[in-house]
Structures are given as structure tokens and as C-alpha cells.
Amino acid sequence: MEIARASNGTKRMNLPLPSTAQPPFWRPVHSLIIVVGNYGSGKTEVAVNLALQLAGQGLRVRLADLDVVNLYFRSREAQACLEAHQVEVVVPQGPMRYADAPVILPQVRGMIADPQVDCAIFDVGGNDVGATVLSSLHDVLAGTPAHVLQVINARRPFTSTVDECLQMMDSIEKSGRVRVTELVSNTHLLDDTDVSHVAEGVRLTAAVAQARALPLAFVTVPAALSTCADVLALPHPVMPLTRRLPTPWAPATPGGQ
């Protein structure tokens, strides 16, 4: 992919037009989806948007907030939005809702093989520390087919090179006692993201995928860029991403939208 500047000074990707339409969005084969990644990779926004995307396809989706190490940017912050779209959210209630204690609800284990759920999504905490929670579920996870998605943001520390991404993968797998099965490209700079950042992330994530012989499941793109010709030319499924988690400097998209 080559990066060029348009006459207005904005960056754009020079991508060959594909011979066929962009692949349809990624659809899970297994009912269990585990989302992991490093701190700041955007994995929680990916998990929340993925839940909404799958629910929009008519699937029965349940999301468990398993981030027990970070008080901020947890999927429980998007609970109203998720429930407005018929996504069930499993999260501690009462005084434990905002605690940083390692609370694993009994419902989490029940999600793993619940016939009433088409997709169970685990939003796991960052780095190897956050992934430790998975090791406490190893007795039930070990025999359960699952998608383990590692979210990669090339603009975050410790995942800006192939070697760093592989080291992060190794540490998460060791700590969580799971194997990453697919990758998600989620490179962005919040509201300053342009298509060149998307291209940068795709290049890095594709190289990591090649190094481990793993599929690149899908690419996230800010919703405002999702219809750009350069994005439509990507040879990977694309998930338009809308910010659903509030930040100290900006509110999230309203829950019902």
C-alpha cells in the first residue's frame, strides 16, 4: 500500500481496486469469543462494537466484562447502549460494580455453553496481567472451541512492531492459558484517525498474522471513514467503529443510537 496526498493535503491510500466486492463481515464459527490485547489497544471498544454488530445480524449476544485490573474504559460503561440493542451484559452489581477486585461471577462460567446464547463475548483486561483472569476459567475453557481475538493498535507502545506484537501475544497466551486464533487491526488516533493510519495498522497486523500463520479476522475503521473508496478496497472484512465508551474529554455516542 502506498500513501499519497490528495490536492487538499489529506493523506490517502493508493490501493488497487479488488476484483470482487469487499469480503462480508466476519461471522464467528464458535459461540465463544474472547477479546484480548495490550493496554490502550482499544479492545473494549472492539468488543462492544462487535457485540452490537453481531446483535444487529439477529444473533443472541451476551457480553461479560472481565476487566478486573483497570477502573477505566471497561465495557460496563456501555451497558445502557448494549442493552438498548438487546445485548445482555454480565457485570458485578452493587458496590462491586466499579471495584478493581478480581470478581468472576458464576454467570460467566454459565455463558460458555449456554444454548440460549448465539455469541458469548469475553472482554478481557489488558496485557498479560488482564489475561490472568482466563486462567481461572481454564477448567471449562480448555475443552471449549473459541475465537481468541488479539486486538492490535500500531500506534500504541509495545505493539508498534511485529516482534513487539508477538511478544505481547506470547505473554497473553502464557498468562491466560489460551491460544490466540485470530487478529484484529484496530490502529487509530481517536478523532485524528485517517486512512493512512488504517493502512499502517493493516500492514502491521497482516505481518503479525503471517509470522504466526493466523488469519486477520477484520479491520476496524472509524464509522466516518467506512465508506471511503480506499477503505472499501481493503481485502479484509471491515467493522465500522463508533466510540461507545465515555472519556474524560468527550462523551460517548448516546446509548440508543
Q: What is the pLDDT of residue 179?
A: 97
Domain boundaries, the chain: 34-185
Q: Which residues pair with 222 in a beta bridge?
A: 241
Q: What is the pLDDT of residue 50?
A: 97
Res. 98 pLDDT band, cuts 50 70 90: low
Which has the closest alpha carbon to 224: 71, 7, 10? 10
Name the CATH code of domain 34-185 (choices 3.40.605.10, 3.40.50.300, 3.10.180.10, 3.40.50.720): 3.40.50.300
Rounded distance, CA 58 to CA 109, Å?
Answer: 24
Which has the closest alpha carbon to 14: 26, 25, 6? 6
Q: What is the pLDDT of residue 249?
A: 59
Number of C-alpha atoms within 13 angstroms, CB side, residue 245?
A: 20
Q: Among 18-27, 76-85, 167-176, 214-223, name the one with the lowest average pLDDT.
A: 18-27
Q: What is the pLDDT of residue 254?
A: 60
Q: What is the pLDDT of residue 73?
A: 75
Q: Among 4-13, 79-88, 157-166, 190-199, name the one with the lowest average pLDDT.
A: 4-13
Q: Parallel, antiparallel, or unpaired: how do β-strands 87-90 and 238-241 relate?
A: unpaired
pLDDT of residue 26 exceeding 50: yes
pLDDT of residue 3 exceeding 50: no
Q: What is the pLDDT of residue 257?
A: 45
Q: What is the pLDDT of residue 31?
A: 94
More confident call, 193 vs 252: 193
| DSSP secondary structure code for residue 41 in this structure | S
Grid coordinates representing 87?
445485548
Looking up cell 500492514, which residue turns up? 203
Q: Classify residue 25 as left (phi > 0), alpha (psi -120 to 50) or beta.
A: beta
- What is the pTM (predicted TM-score) of this model? 0.86
